[in-house]
Chains A and B, each alone.
Chain A
Amino acid sequence: MSMAVTHFNYIAVIVLMMIGLYVLFATGNLIKRMVGLALFQTSTALFYISLGKVSGGTAAITIYADSPEGRALAATLDPAYVDQFGINGVVYSNPLPHVLILTAIVVGVATLSVGLSIVVRIREAYGTVETDEIEAVARVEAAQSGPARSEAGA
């Protein structure tokens, strides 16, 4: 049961990811799908950040150990801990996952924009954003067989 405490963050983040994945696949509405996708992507970001957190650490912006902030931070921690894991007297959290997630968030919004622009065009072409209605329209159009070939040109 102590695993639930020491790994709580990871379990919670996985629950969030699964909610996002569920929303993505359990609906036929294209816009709600994009919402689910955004949820799924953001939760993956939270996973990385949980990996990088260091107990008692602070944001990865260099501060001096004998400045007011540095001293306030050191006061809350065990000196042996600071000696072992700190850098110049201050304990920081891992900056690498932050960098990766900055990238991932931006990639997420880029995907969201392109996806929504496609949804808008689908709405204009098919008149709906529900997948079953789109399939129905497509079936109707396929049944109306035109000439065997037709003139090309957009």
Chain B
Amino acid sequence: MNDIALQASFALNVALLLMLVIVGIAIARSRSLLASILLLGIYSLVSAAWLVVMDAADVAFTEAVVGAGISTVVLLGAILLVRAGPVRHDWRMTIPPALLVLGVGGLLIYAVTGLPEFGDPASPANAHVGRSYLIETPKEIGVPNVVTAVLSSYRGFDTLGETVVVFAAGIGVALMLGFGPRSALSPPPVATGDHHVVLRVTAKLLIPLIMLYAFYVQFHGDLGAGGGFQAGVILAVAPILHALVFGLRETIEAIPVHAVRSVAALGVLLFAGVGLVCILNGGDFLDYDYLFPPSVEAMIPPGLMGDPDHAHHWGQHFGIFFIELGVLFTVSATMVTIFYGFAGRAADEQEAAS
């Protein structure tokens, strides 16, 4: 592998990893919480770039959206509510962690010597199940994006679990932040939006475009990079932007708290429902080949999407479509719930202060 292109790719990989280490050290040394959070956002963005170099397109997309996007929003919301000053630094606290870290790190580096070479196509990891997915997906699923095929079909049960994790996080945040007078359930009586004309006009232009982009990412997830999770987070950005510019009260009037929570639950029900329909039609849970009973499959016009082989894959295509829809509902609704949780308490603090 002495080719220039491969060497350039490896050099880029090394450079990005070194950048990440530098940002990591900067986070460790920083005394300001705001700086730490923004550096974490930069870390996520550089990770996303590194992931592209590593051929992980979907993951890069998710890391950029979730890591640099939502995580930063939630962290900023938290420091706004907490109103903390600079981080105190006690040198005595650093000794046990330093020892722990050196010990664990040393063990890990020793263990890593037993791993196959980086980039080795014949390593067990790359030669066994991973390779089988690449070979079998065109025949069994018929979807170009193998990552989506594995995520939604082969390991669909994992994705159901992941969706439930998101749902559980929404419930957790609602349990912690969502009740009583100091919450989004009783929004402030006065709209506290920003009155800047530029912001309002731009937001009105951007919000529909953001939603459109979210739907594009959603429905093209099986053709290129994308999918339910990325689309869900992007879709949640629209109400968040709306709340930041026009005031939380207006957003809650448009999208009430209980409605959002119900949509999150409906997403999980849709996903699990698809699985149950497959059982009712004679297959196993989430076996999309049994999604449609033969009578329904017969009704689908054969040349619908041009490729004659598609007839075999209708169950898979529609199964993936529906579960990604369920993921979209749950993820977007949960992100909005989380935002409502944090913003609801902040709005009340402003009220108390004024």
Contact = CB atoms under 8 A, between A and B. Distances in A.
A98 B138 CA distance: 18
A77 B5 CA distance: 9
Interface in A56-106: 56-62, 76-78, 81, 84-85, 87, 91-99, 101-103, 105-106
A98 B56 contact: yes
Interface stretch (B16-24, B272-280, B286-294, B311-319): B16-24
Contacts of A113: 74, 169, 172-173, 338
Contacts of B44: 42
Contact of B81 (A18, A95, A110, A120): A120
Given A50-B54, A51-B125, A92-B146, A19 B59 contact: no
B342 A117 contact: yes
A62 B137 contact: yes
A109 interface: yes
B306 interface: no
B98 A120 contact: no
Nearest to A91: B121
Nearest to B91: A26
B67 A120 contact: no
Interface string B103-133: 0110011001101011111110110011101
A134 interface: no
Contacts of A22: 28, 97-98, 101
A38 B50 contact: no
A63 B273 CA distance: 33
B196 interface: no
Nearest to A51: B125
Contacts of B79: 31
A18 B101 contact: yes
Contacts of A31: 33, 75, 78-79, 82, 84
Given A31-B82, A111-B169, A117-B172, A26 B93 contact: yes
A107 B158 CA distance: 12
Interface stretch (B147-155, B240-248, B263-271, B297-305): B147-155
A138 interface: no
B51 A49 contact: yes
Interface residues of B, number: 108
B92 to A, nearest CB: 10
B224 interface: yes
Decide if the interface of chain A is mainly helix, strand, loop or mixed.
helix
Nearest to B176: A117
A56 B94 CA distance: 42
B332 interface: no
Contacts of B102: 18
B27 interface: yes
B66 A105 contact: yes
Contacts of A106: 62, 66, 162, 165-166, 229, 331
A81 B28 CA distance: 43
B24 to A, nearest CB: 4
A58 B109 CA distance: 28
Given A53-B54, A62-B144, A93-B54, A129 B82 contact: yes
A20 B36 CA distance: 12
B168 A110 contact: yes
Contact of B162 (A17, A61, A103): A103
A36 B24 CA distance: 9
Contacts of A29: 33, 84, 87-88
Residue among A13, A77, A113 with the most chain B CB within 10 A? A113
Contact of A12 (B18, B77, B159): B18
Interface string A1-25: 0010011111111111111111111
Contacts of A35: 27, 36-37, 40, 75
Sort A-B residue pairs by CB-CB distance and give the 5 closest, nearest first. Answer: A110-B169, A55-B119, A94-B130, A25-B97, A117-B176
11 contacts: A8-B14, A17-B108, A18-B102, A29-B87, A31-B82, A45-B63, A54-B55, A54-B120, A109-B70, A112-B74, A116-B342
Given A31-B33, A31-B82, 16 more contacts: A6-B117, A26-B28, A26-B94, A31-B79, A42-B43, A51-B126, A55-B120, A58-B55, A78-B1, A101-B56, A102-B147, A102-B227, A103-B162, A106-B162, A109-B67, A123-B83
